[in-house]
Structure 1
Amino acid sequence: MIWEFIQNQILGMKWMSTLIGNLLEKIGLDTSSRMGGSVQFFLYDVLKITILLCILIFMISYIQSYFPPERSKKIMGRFHGIWANCIAALLGTVTPFCSCSSIPLFIGFTSAGLPLGVTFSFLISSPMVDLGSLVLLMSIFGSKVAIIYVIVGLVIAVIGGTIIEKLHLENEVEAFIRKANAVDIDMDEPTQKERLSFAKQQVIDTFKKVFPYILIGVGIGAVIHNWIPESWVEKILGSDNPFGVIIATIVGVPMYADIFGCIPIAEALLAKGARLGVVLSFMMGVTTLSLPSMIMLKKAIKPKLLGLFIGICTVGIIIVGYAFNAFQYLLI
């Protein structure tokens, strides 16, 4: 009962949905109508995600202040083999929220001489699974789905990085990165005031960058939730279509968003009858393989390695999607 209260009223903020619905009814807008329901969905999700966004970014950025790039590089350099991949994947959970922000760190780690497979484990993990996604997923899908999503995301990151390491593709990294000279700069340990100031600035910067995508994502979710017939979603992304996971993964790739923009779309699709694995595959495709991030990554690595990276992530996402579909009855 306590956990249900936390999940529904604190993380999910169901009280806010009720409050917004009551306010809309008082001004004469019928929330049971399509238009009224869309307005309620939009206002509720924008406010909920924005509040969670600011709180989570502040907390995660404060934690991140203990893991600047130089320290992260030293931590990963202490480990070898698959353990190095595991550490890199875990460090990815306390770094930026989208793939485009992760790529500069990936380039820096690679230039510093860290094993290629280790840096790729970081690159896969960073946008796909972070502490923010864990809390946000709990607020929508529940703790079981959220925890398993993060675990399988880390597994994909570790396996993907290990495969790339075994293939010895260092020459597939652009020469200007391989020949770069890394400079270690000893920096003073930040004070508590500086850590709090850093976290506050990260909230402001990330909010400015992410908020437009929240509006777009919630807008799309509101349309799906109230205007798209349930039969359409079930036909394309429901259990009757065995290719739903593949379709969702492919559709997600051209989009550019992060977990905060994907959540409302995923929430609406699931409510309309889409399978859980389909929804999560869509989210993974958007956050890990967005077209803008692939264009950025192409500047750093050659086509062969880029194709392998995309292939590993795509296959992993599709396998995870079908697994979630198969065990959906145990999770929600």
Structure 2
Amino acid sequence: MHLNTFKEFLYLFTELSVLFIAISFLVSIINQKYEGIFKKQLAGDKISSYFKAIFLGALTPFCSCSTIPLLRAFLEAKVKLSVALAYLFTSPLINPIIFSMLFITFGLKLSLTYVVFLVFLIFIVSFVFSKFKEESFLKHIPKNTKSNIFTQTTHNPSNFIFKQKSCCANTQDKPKNITINYKELFKESLKNYKKLLPYIVVAVFIGAFIHGFIPQEILQKYLNGNEILSIALAAFLGIFLYLRVETIIPIGLALLQMGISQGVIMSFLIAGAGCSLPELVLLKQMFKMKFLFLFVMIILGVAISFGIFINLI
């Protein structure tokens, strides 16, 4: 047991570390080379920005923890928080792997219903966040110490909360021939990684400890009772387990074989895939407790509502 936990810790730690550094480095290069492509494509509160973020999330088969590096990169690139959240909600819940496995296990009808339902809800929830001040949820903007990676300013300010004047300043004065300092960009990615390292270690430890722990007897006992209560309980149980992309559907199939309804299973899988304790630890580095509470409530709400919806159709 201890050996398996240690192996899982090393695996998760390596995966998250490589993902964080690689994504930060890649986004820095793209954003500098194409003069703020993320800011341009995902700018403002345009409806298209939300669906672009959702589409990007659907193309990235990340687990809930692995979404954090790109989320951080979006915030560094001054993408609106509400648009960045559309990506955060989508990536672990809608992607080619999950859709394929849902289709094989549960059929086309449930798979398409799942995608359409989640896209609609994610858009609504993300858009609602645009009506609130970002300072209400963010501790500070994750940023590079060399601000010219994501903006055109030359100062190196201390931690701050969204200052509009620093966004994309003097873009027309930027020379067309851009020389990219790859070494400097990589150093900045490492610096950002070091800032997040304590949170990564704690998150990975929690994930490694609870990974694969599926209390089948408890699930079978308590998820076969009253349908509404079972759906709600399944969502709460899912939050406390760390379910990775490749394990989500096999777990659902095992629950189906136990005689548990599709509504309960989908509630469990959405909650487990959409939120986890390790992810909350990582999000705490950037967000206030108010947001973490809302985030958990939103995932629970989506999971429970879809579970009830599936049982009604």
Would you say same fold, with TM above 0.5?
Answer: yes
Q: 1:237 to 1:75 in 2, by over 3 A?
A: farther
Give the corresponding residue for 1:131: 96
Change in Cα spacing, 1:236 to 1:75, as seen in structure 2 (3 Å) is: farther
Calculate percent identity across the aligned residue pairs.
28
Secondary structure of 2:66 counterpart: helix
Structure 1 outlier segments of 4+, above 3 Å: 68-72, 178-182, 184-188, 238-241
TM-superposed deviation, 1:177: 2.1
Match of 2:257 among 244, 266, 271: 271
User: CA offset at residue 96 of structure 1?
Assistant: 4.0
- Does 2:69 correspond to 1:83? no
Aligned equivalents of 1:239, 1:179: Cα separation in 2? 51
| TM-score normalised to structure 1 length | 0.61
Is 1:261 matched up with 2:247?
yes
Q: How many equivalent residue pairs?
A: 229
Equivalent residue for 2:289? 303
Q: Is the 8 A contact 1:111 1:182 kept in 2?
A: no
Long gaps (5+) in structure 2: 1-25, 152-177, 181-203
Distance, in Å, in 1 between the alignment partners of 2:112 and 2:123 is: 17
Query: Where is the helix percentage greater, Structure 1 or Structure 2?
Result: 1
1:236 to 222, 228, 240: 222
**Which residue of structure 2 aligns with residue 294 of structure 1?**
280
Shift in alpha-carbon separation, 1:308–1:187, aligned structure 2, 3 A: farther
Q: Report SS of the residue matched to 1:264.
A: helix
State the distance in 2 between where 1:279 and 1:312 align: 18
**CA spacing shift, 1:240–1:176, aligned 2, 3 Å:** closer
Structure 1 counterpart of 2:299 = 313
Q: Give structure 1 stretches of 5+ with no counterpart.
A: 1-64, 189-208, 328-332
Q: Using structure 2 for the length normalisation, give the TM-score.
A: 0.64
Is the contact between residue 44 and residue 80 of structure 2 (CA under 8 Å) also seen in structure 1? no
State how far apart, in whole Å, the 2-side matches of 1:272 and 1:96 are: 28
Q: Report the equivalent of 1:147.
A: 112
* 1:240 CA displacement: 3.6
Matched residues in 2 for 1:253 and 1:158: separation? 22
Are the counterparts in 2 of residues 110 and 119 from structure 1 also a CA contact under 8 Å? yes
> Could you say what the CA RMSD is over the residues aligned between the two structures, in angstroms?
3.3
SS at match of 2:83: helix
The amino acid across from 1:135 in the alignment is S
- 2-structure distance, mates of 1:324, 1:187: 53
